[in-house]
Structure 1
Amino acid sequence: MASLLIRNCRRYDAPPTDGHSNVLVQDGCIGWIGAGEPPAAPEQVLDAGGRLLAPGFIDVHIQGAGGADVLDATPTALAAIAKACARCGVTSYLATTVYKIGQENRHLEVASECIGRDLGGARLLGIHLEGPFISLRKRGMIQPDCLADPSPSALEAILARTGDGLAMMTVAPELPCGLEVVRALADRGIVASLGHTHATYEQALAGFDAGINHVTHLFNAMPSLHHRDPGPLGAIFERSDVTVQAITDGVHIHPSVLRLAFAALGPSRFVTITDGMQALGLPDGRYVYNGIPYETRNGAARYKDGTLIGTAVGLNQMLARLVNVTGCSEATAIRTATENPASILGLAKKTGAIQAGYDADMVLLEEDFTVYATVVGGRIVYRRESD
């Protein structure tokens, strides 16, 4: 693998008084960081032109992009998603999808087979299943044939399809045997995430005690907070050991509520996601998810009945909106899509930061979070054509 020198960059975590840095990549990892000449001559040089260098973004909740969907069940579709992700600064992602009861679910096998493959863009880290053990009342865009009652045997059937590829599962702990499934997921090192739930405050706490340590798209597909009936949100805000996903497009969460949540939770508990659909990276228009038509308008995706089902907004722009709404620093916003998801997935010792020895997954950004270049494993997989 060719060595790469990223020259004249501004590190996202460096004090403003620091000068520009150079980063040498060798054998797919960050080998050296400094202000002078690297210890070895590189085979390729990328002049950053003073742009911001950040760790590559990690999207733990994306169903599709670039005209493709995980449900397409082909390596070509996963590669299209990977390439669309790279254009948004995403260097790794979880293929987020559903489990169809009584069907072959070939899409899960294909996704598992593609983990670790070169897809020409972002790395595929694993699978995030929304369901099938979720609440019918809070299913949102997930169809009834993708729901099931929790049981050890049902979980084993799913694991038979995903193999070692299942990294995260969204569950509703209030369902019968829901806590048993949560414990089984935790025992296997799979992230159990609370979501699409109608849990009470007490049921949510029980879920956290059983092993849930993450929350799927905060506020969406769950009961609202009430001062006499706090529901799952009351439990979420109380538990400092629980991290949350948030869609920061300004539609899924009102800006005022986003500011309140970000301040109350703190940046370390926050993970910015896209909940991206196949329309991500494409113009507003009409598309189809799981056989049902939907429309994107200003980046928000909705079924014909108005049900909000996801977004077509890239993760780089989600971070720009987070900065705009909350007033947090660029570095703080970036951590919600790098260090935080890496930690949740157990990858914090190898990715999510710009340090010697870490994976050379990085992104060069303009001041408005427009992506200039994306590097995966030390290879430039995207560079803006105008430059």
Structure 2
Amino acid sequence: MGWGQDGMASLLISHCRLYDAAGVDADGWVLVDGGIISQIGAGGAAPDADRVLDAGGRLLAPGFIDVHIQGAGGADVLDATPAALATIAKTCARCGVTSYLATTVYKPDQDNRHLQVVSECIGRDLGGARLLGTHLEGPFISSQKRGMIQPDCLTAPSPSALDAILNKTGDGLAMMTIAPELPGGLDLASALVDRGVIASLGHTSATYEETLRGFDAGINHVTHLFNAMPSLHHRAPGPLGAIFERPDVTVQVIADGVHLHPSVVRLVFAAVGASRFVTITDGMQALGLPDGHYTYNDILYEARDGAARYKDGTLIGTALGLNRILARLVQFAGCSPATAIRTVTENPAAILGIGERAGSIKVGYDADLVLLEEDLAVHATLVGGRVVYQNNGD
């Protein structure tokens, strides 16, 4: 993928603790060769390498994967430039993220250059996290549950509309959020699955029965659970009732304590289990920046205390980095850091079909890694064995 010459040199990460290892001894080491993990060990004499990164006893975890992020560092996917995607990639790296899906919208009858730019930048060295593909929120979603998504980003499901999108995204479309209750929605879900695209339920007004039909048509993932969908009612369970009882369906959760109350985060974690839970940011361009006013899709919003809202109070995303949201998940759900980390590593890697090379620390896997403090603050982030971010205490 062209991650730079220094990424091809051998690297020894010494004095680390694997995030899921028993005990507290910091005598572990990982050898990286050619951007791939080649050896893992503990104690004794570590092998020689061209470079050594002393972890200083910190936790070493797989790099995080954010499947739902629209912008960061002042940039947005809609900016439609490689520079914007690079800014997002570099800001992601500051938060421990080594791979991301560029999440955005499609505007029918417009040029949608941003989708072409994303496709052209997949696999490029952006100086930070790897760009894996596009996650489209819509345009086949409910107008009643569109949230921050503007009306000009919606259209009815049809083969021709899907073809127009694929002409822009090519093989870069990795995930699409759809509402299965729309006429033609089930056929569209099946068409996406046939193309290897993840069909994700979201921005939907579906009933319980319509949701189940969507799952039977191939939908197996859920976009920001609870948000932009009907609430759970004891006589009309809606999509949530169907989601909770389907063990083959994974769910995205914005576990920041704002999009969902901490008690609901705890409830979801207990109900679906750690293996179905995928922590996301739903990050906006304000992610990684101070509180202030910013613009998304030409509409002003305010980022304050980690939450992004339109002037009317509509919650539209987060400005918190993924590592900070993970720390809140640990607090709210009462789970271990290792368990929380799996929700941004093993789980999304499996969903994206890259679990045989990413999401774990194993020999033969990509050396996409993050060194973490005890509170999950990021000390260093590596992509393909290259340090793309390091906190030097500045």
Task: Report the TM-score when normalising by structure 1.
Answer: 0.99
Alignment of 1:147-158 (within 5 A): 147-158=154-165
Partners of 2:17 and 2:24 within 8 A in 1: no
Give the aligned residue type for 1:54: A
TM-aligned CA deviation for residue 101 of structure 1 = 1.2
1:90-135 Cα deviation digits (max 9, x unpaired):
0000000000111000000000000000000000000000000000
Alignment of 1:245-264 (within 5 A): 245-264=252-271
Q: Using the alignment, how far apart are the partners of 1:251 and 1:82 within structure 2?
A: 25
Q: Using the alignment, how far apart are the partners of 1:183 and 1:83 within structure 2?
A: 35
Q: Does the alignment pair 1:331 with 2:338?
A: yes
Could you say which residue in structure 2 is the equivalent of 1:15? 22
Could you say which residue in structure 1 is the equivalent of 2:104? 97
TM-aligned CA deviation for residue 13 of structure 1 = 1.2
TM-aligned CA deviation for residue 19 of structure 1 = 5.1
Q: Using the alignment, how far apart are the partners of 2:10 and 2:290 within structure 1?
A: 36
1:132-190 Cα deviation digits (max 9, x unpaired):
00000000000000000001111011000001000000000000000000000000110
Could you say which residue in structure 2 is the equivalent of 1:163? 170
Q: Does the alignment pair 1:194 with 2:201?
A: yes
Q: Does the alignment pair 1:223 with 2:225?
A: no
Q: Does the alignment pair 1:2 with 2:9?
A: yes
Could you say which residue in structure 1 is the equivalent of 2:138? 131
Could you say which residue in structure 2 is the equivalent of 1:121? 128
Give the aligned residue type for 1:20: D
TM-aligned CA deviation for residue 38 of structure 1 = 3.6
Q: Does the alignment pair 1:82 with 2:95?
A: no
Q: Does the alignment pair 1:357 with 2:364?
A: yes
Q: 2:79 aligns with which of 69, 72, 81?
A: 72
TM-aligned CA deviation for residue 18 of structure 1 = 5.5
Partners of 2:26 and 2:57 within 8 A in 1: no
Q: 2:56 aligns with which of 23, 34, 49?
A: 49
1:1-43 Cα deviation digits (max 9, x unpaired):
111110000101111266531000000100100123344x211
Could you say which residue in structure 2 is the equivalent of 1:37? 45
Q: Using the alignment, how far apart are the partners of 1:95 and 1:85 within structure 2?
A: 11
Could you say which residue in structure 2 is the equivalent of 1:107? 114
Percent identity among equivalent residues? Answer: 76
Q: Using the alignment, how far apart are the partners of 1:198 and 1:18 within structure 2?
A: 51
Give the aligned residue type for 1:159: L
Q: Does the alignment pair 1:342 with 2:349?
A: yes
Q: Using the alignment, how far apart are the partners of 2:186 and 2:163 within structure 1?
A: 15
Q: 1:288 aligns with which of 283, 295, 313?
A: 295
Q: Does the alignment pair 1:236 with 2:243?
A: yes
Q: Secondary structure at the match of 1:127?
A: strand
Give the aligned residue type for 2:235: R
Q: Using the alignment, how far apart are the partners of 2:98 and 2:45 within structure 1?
A: 27
Task: Report the TM-score when normalising by structure 2.
Answer: 0.97
Q: Secondary structure at the match of 1:244?
A: strand
Could you say which residue in structure 1 is the equivalent of 2:285? 278
Q: Does the alignment pair 1:299 with 2:332?
A: no
Partners of 1:11 and 1:20 within 8 A in 2: no
Q: Using the alignment, how far apart are the partners of 2:334 and 2:127 within structure 1?
A: 35
Partners of 2:370 and 2:379 within 8 A in 1: yes
Q: Using the alignment, how far apart are the partners of 2:45 and 2:81 within structure 1?
A: 44
Q: Secondary structure at the match of 2:92?
A: helix
Q: Secondary structure at the match of 1:59?
A: strand
1:318-348 Cα deviation digits (max 9, x unpaired):
1000001111001100000000000000000
Partners of 1:168 and 1:193 within 8 A in 2: yes
| Gap change, CA 1:170 and 1:32, over 3 Å in 2 | same
Q: Does the alignment pair 1:25 with 2:49?
A: no
Partners of 1:62 and 1:95 within 8 A in 2: yes
Q: Using the alignment, how far apart are the partners of 1:160 and 1:266 within structure 2?
A: 38
Partners of 1:32 and 1:38 within 8 A in 2: no
Unaligned runs of 5+ in 2: 1-7
Give the root-mean-square deviation of aligned CA atoms: 0.8
Q: Secondary structure at the match of 2:22?
A: coil
Q: Does the alignment pair 1:181 with 2:188?
A: yes
Partners of 2:176 and 2:197 within 8 A in 1: yes
Unaligned runs of 5+ in 1: none
Q: Using the alignment, how far apart are the partners of 2:258 and 2:342 within structure 1?
A: 22
